[in-house]
Amino acid sequence: YGVWVAGSAQAGSLLLNTICDTTGDGVFLCLSAADHIQSNTITDCDGAGLHIGPESDVFSGSVTDNELSGNGSGVCWEGVPGTWLWSNDIHDNQGAGVAVVGDGHLLILFNSTYDNGGLGIDLGNDGVTANDVDDLDTGPNDLLNFPQVTSIQMVGGDYVLQGTAPPDCVVDVYSGGSDPSGYGEGEAWVTSEFADSAGAFTVTVPSAEMPVSMTASLGADTSEFSAWKKPTALVLQDAT
């Protein structure tokens, strides 16, 4: 381990560190807490770059501006709700970019997630988790359903995408970062829209950003990335 904190200890602030070439996780917190995890470079660790174990917390509410690359996985999260993983550069890890496992809950926003060996976001660390009717399941991030695009129209050189997502969630759209599974990663955040109370959403995407993948965020949870490839049933028409 590069940094290992367990039990009732508090890690304080983890800022501006370079942690690399460990035989375990780069940073591991278990049954403990940190104030801030920000602006660290964590690379080439055999385990996760950042591993937040059960009942652990980040008091500031954010893990931000870190680079996590070349590790076994970028982030492995089992921690309690209330933390944001945002604006990090998570790439070229052997497994998932972000794996949320066990009873973990994590809001995952505005990160650059690409070229990872596994999914960009993996709930359960077991590959793509299919959506379920009414989204009543439990587990890491409550296995929140990802958005599904049902139609695309071209309007004035932009694409207007319509689809369904968990009701009242935020739909974040990302470009770049395709994955062999057919489900995206997200190299660059493009835009956000709210789904309505029935789960319907409409989002406009500049043509230069296509194709895209999407996540849904609701409460303390974020979904996996949606399918990257256009569904075969997709209707594309010029509405100019």
Give the tens place of pLDDT for each residue, 160-200.
Answer: 999 999 999 999 999 987 788 888 899 999 999 999 999 99
Give the tens place of pLDDT for each residue, 70-83.
Answer: 999 999 999 888 88
| Integer Cα distance of 95 and 145 in angstroms | 21
| Integer Cα distance of 172 and 188 in angstroms | 11
What pLDDT is stored for residue 234 in this prediction?
45
What pLDDT is stored for residue 55 in this prediction?
79
Q: How confident is the model at residue 6 (pLDDT cuts 50, 70, 90)?
A: confident
Q: 238 pLDDT exceeds 70?
A: no
**DSSP summary character for residue 224:** -
What pLDDT is stored for residue 230 in this prediction?
54
Q: CB neighbours of 199 closer than 8 A, spacing ≥ 6?
A: 164, 165, 166, 167, 169
Write down the mean pLDDT value for the chain. 90
**151: three-class secondary structure by DSSP:** strand
CB 6 within 8 A of CB 29: yes
Closest CA to 84 of 116, 53, 106: 106
Give the tens place of pLDDT for each residue, 7-66.
Answer: 776 767 899 999 999 999 999 988 777 888 999 999 999 999 999 988 787 766 789 999
What pLDDT is stored for residue 35 in this prediction?
81
What pLDDT is stored for residue 240 in this prediction?
47
